[in-house]
Structure 1
Amino acid sequence: MASSSFVVTMLLSFFLLTSPENAAAAAAPYTSLFSFGDSLADTGNLLHILPETNPPPHFALPPYGETFFHTPTGRFSDGRLVIDFIAESLGLPFLPPYIGEEKNESGRRNFSQGVNFAVAGATALDDAFFEEIGIDHFTPNVSLYCQLNWFKEMLPTICHSSSECKEFLKSSLVVVGEIGGDDYNYAFQVEISTDVINSYVPKVISKIGSIVDELIGLGAVTVLVAGEIPKGCSAAYLAKFMSSNQNDYDFETGCLNWLNNFAKYHNSLLINELNRLQELHPHATIIYADYYNAAMQFYLTPDKLGFKEGALVACCGAGGPYNFNESFKCGYPPTKSCANPNLHANWDGGHLTEAAYKWLAHSILTGAYTDKNLNTISTSFKATS
């Protein structure tokens, strides 16, 4: 369990990090930011990909976006995501979604400061794999490989040769993930056996590794790769796999042990893969972002982090022990939003509140939950580039 002094230190560092002076200082090393992933990082891609419907998708309706943007933006939260806080800390604008981004007067899109390729529902593995194992996940083919192709499509709008692109990417921060979670979510939702899901974790990790490897080959020199969050603490999973056996739960947090163990298995393989890639590319800096242990802090000590209403119960939902019912999505009746999302860690069952994402972001930006300090690396990189 996190000590009181540790939590106080983290909170103080967070306020220092997010002050205007420190945000400006942090802005120097990176002049652009690129993001790949799923709904934990999507700033509007899925909203632009889906055809217009009546009613609109649930995440295109209030209360999504209510805390910061005061309108739905396609983000699966009440406000900002981790990638938004990273952009702010670097003095960069919020990343526009790659799909649907408006063109400038010349008819071209300007991505010189970065863009977001993450799509809610995206998987690391391609659609063909899920078809083979009998899963239809009802999401457009927006896998990690597809997002990489968008990145390759985008590069010529910024740079015009391989050498020029590599020079440009030297001062870019590339964030990959969280990704892979939906590869498992679709299977857990239809109750595919855990043994089968475990069997393809190495495939997911291999795909993430191959994308990171290719990004470095294209010129990326600083890549931040996020691990899985604690699945067993998700309101959606706690509601779906409710058990009368108390041994299924962690007595400190109330989270499901077996699902958290699964997330830790994914993360252990991911760490090994990133270590392998770091040895192959000593000129690059590959940073592992430990979303799992960072997020565990708001399940271990929710009150100390300001989550007075707890971390396991969804803010927006339709009742039940965890305020989550898979038949009623946040945004559609009869769901209701809590009075103050800042007091909750969980937003809609499967996603986090802005307050929780803010904590995750500062945990990464301060280096408390990374294997390498992003700020230290960025300062030294600027000095030597």
Structure 2
Amino acid sequence: MGLVSAFLLIVIFTVLLHQVTSTTLQSSYNAIFNFGDQYSDTGNFVILAPRALFIGNSPYGETDFNRPTGRASNGRVVLDFIAQSIPLPLIPPYLAQGQDFSKGANFAVARATALDFVFYQKNNIIPTDLPLLNTSLSVQLGWFENLMASLCNTTDACNLYFNRSLFLLGTIGVADYFTFLAVGKTVDYCNSKVPDVVGSITSVAKHMALPGVVPIGCLPRILTIYVSPNVSDYDSIGCLQIYNNISQYHNRILRVAVKQLQIEFPKAVISYADYYEPITKFLANPRLYGFTVNGSPLVACCGGGGPYNYNASAQCGQSGVAACPDPSTVNWDGTVFTEKANSIIANGWRNGAFASPPI
């Protein structure tokens, strides 16, 4: 990150020191600025690489929008529910042309990494299934810097504007671990890079709500690709524990970092928002949360078959691949979650069930 970006973050964070409580904040949010990956992207990836993924095709978006919107879900993502609860309009993707960004912008890009693109180039960690794009967290912050000039042009005006803005990091880091595994790196290697991934997040995110990562070992994609013949490798839910351990390690380090930031900056509102706990709760007791079960709660709604309805050669969005009749399941396409799951997670972040303090 350049000196200008670093200075920009210091300015924003200084402004946020004047924000005292989350209750006061929610009543005064006028804009949301979001950074992250596929779990909160609302269209940037399909603008950058329209043929690289299938999220620009049906049945994505079928539940709420009746068309694909670039969201990796059947409908709204967590960011959408948070915006609507404030209430604000749905936050447009930064790369879309002709948008009004006065109420905020979404810089998240599917498959964005926490670690910079140059790290992957230098270490020759380039997956063959889907090329990495240069859309890491530091790149997204650079986009935000470019947008600032159009939002305010004096120090006082910027202080007022950003003092009433909510900054979210809609989870990032999963793509880093996916990439390591895709090129044949071991779980031990993934764990060795967790501090670097978390460090990239916390070094630029003192002004944000910080979500942990999802339980990777519960994703149909991981369960299919890394299936094990040993029953003991699976937990009571049916998730692969060795991959969930990566997520748990990531989240433990992130929680410690957030607590340190909260102590260091007591007047700022810095939240840890949990993805891991709600997803494991949904999978352990799906009907308690109102989810439908297609044989197993671990099965994706949209996919090309197999035990978990995930097939790398017949993915959701490809021709001939259909969604389940009732998308009130937990997982949508093998990697991301359904609108119903996103809604419950967003509500838990707002009321404190899955966030500390509440967003």
1:279 aligns with 2:278: no
2:324 to 338, 348, 355: 338
1:57–1:257: structure 2 CA closer, same or farther, 3 Å change rule? closer
Root mean square deviation of aligned Cα? 1.7
1:127 to 99, 114, 117: 117
Structure 1: how far apart are the matches of 2:132 and 2:182? 14
Give, as a single letter, the amino acid of the residue that structure 2 aligns with 1:318.
G
TM-score by length of 1: 0.82
Task: Quote the residue 2:223 is aligned against.
Answer: 238
Shift of 1:26: 9.4
SS in 2 for 1:59: coil
Q: Is residue 228–residue 291 contact of structure 1 (8 Å, CA) maintained in 2?
A: yes
Shift of 1:302: 0.6
Task: Quote the residue 2:344 is aligned against.
Answer: 359
How many equivalent pairs are there? 331
Task: Quote the residue 1:44 is aligned against.
Answer: 43
Q: How does 1:293-372 map to 2 (within 5 A)?
A: 293-309=277-293, 310-342=296-328, 344-372=329-357
Task: Quote the residue 1:193 is aligned against.
Answer: 186
Structure 2: how far apart are the matches of 1:306 and 1:26? 31
* Structure 2 spans left out of the alignment, 5+ residues: 1-23
Shift of 1:59: 1.1
Shift of 1:57: 4.2
Structure 1: how far apart are the matches of 2:297 and 2:77? 17
Q: Taking every aligned residue pair, what percent have the same amino acid on both sides?
A: 40
Task: Quote the residue 2:76 is aligned against.
Answer: 80
Structure 2: how far apart are the matches of 1:282 and 1:27? 18
Q: Is residue 126–residue 183 contact of structure 2 (8 Å, CA) maintained in 1?
A: no
Q: Is residue 318–residue 325 contact of structure 1 (8 Å, CA) maintained in 2?
A: yes
Task: Quote the residue 2:146 is aligned against.
Answer: 153
Give, as a single letter, the amino acid of the residue that structure 1 aligns with 2:200.
K
Structure 2: how far apart are the matches of 1:65 and 1:74? 8
Shift of 1:190: 2.5
Give, as a single letter, the amino acid of the residue that structure 1 aligns with 2:292.
K
Shift of 1:269: 0.6
Structure 2: how far apart are the matches of 1:243 and 1:162? 57
Task: Choose 272-281 or 41-50, whichever is displaced more.
Answer: 272-281
Structure 2: how far apart are the matches of 1:179 and 1:162? 30
SS in 2 for 1:199: helix
Give, as a single letter, the amino acid of the residue that structure 1 aligns with 2:309.
N
Q: How does 1:148-297 map to 2 (within 5 A)?
A: 148-213=141-206, 216=207, 223-251=208-236, 253-297=237-281
Task: Quote the residue 1:32 is aligned against.
Answer: 31
Give, as a single letter, the amino acid of the residue that structure 1 aligns with 2:72.
F
TM-score by length of 2: 0.88
Residues 85-116 of structure 1 show CA distances to partners (whole Å, capped at 9, x for unaligned) of 0001011000100002315xxxxxx3221110
Give, as a single letter, the amino acid of the residue that structure 2 aligns with 1:306.
G
Task: Quote the residue 1:19 is aligned against.
Answer: none
